[in-house]
Amino acid sequence: DGNGRWAKKRGLPRKAGHAVGAETFRRIATYCKNLGMDYLTVYAFSTENWKRSDEEVGAIMGLLENYLHESIEKMEKDRIRLKILGDTTALSPAIQGLIDKTDAIAARLPGCFQANVCLNYGGRDEIVRAVNRFAAEHPGETITEAAMAEYLDTAGIPDPDLIIRTGGEYRISNFLMWESAYSELYFTDVLWPDFSEKDIDKAVAEYRHRDRRFGGVKA
Q: Is the dihedral of CA 117, 121, 127, 133 positive or negative?
A: negative
**pLDDT values of the chain reduced to their tens digit, one per residue, 219 residues:** 899 999 999 999 999 999 999 999 999 999 999 999 999 999 999 999 999 999 999 999 999 999 999 999 999 999 999 999 999 999 999 999 999 999 999 999 999 999 999 999 999 999 999 999 999 999 999 999 999 999 999 999 999 999 999 999 999 999 999 999 999 999 999 999 999 999 999 999 999 999 877 777 665
Going from N- to C-terminal start, the domains of the chain cover 3-207
Q: Which burial class, exposed, middle or buried, applies to 202 when counting CB atoms under 10 A from its CB (0-12, 13-18, 19+)?
A: middle
The answer to whether the predicted template modeling score (pTM) of the entire model surpasses 0.85 is yes
Under a CB-based contact definition with an 8 Å cutoff, are residues 81 and 138 in contact? Answer: no
CB 79 within 8 A of CB 113: yes
- Per DSSP, the residues of 185-219 read EEE--S-GGG--HHHHHHHHHHHHT----TTS---
pLDDT at 212: 72
Asked: is 3-207 a CATH 3.40.1180.10 domain? The reply is: yes
Catalytic residues: 1, 49
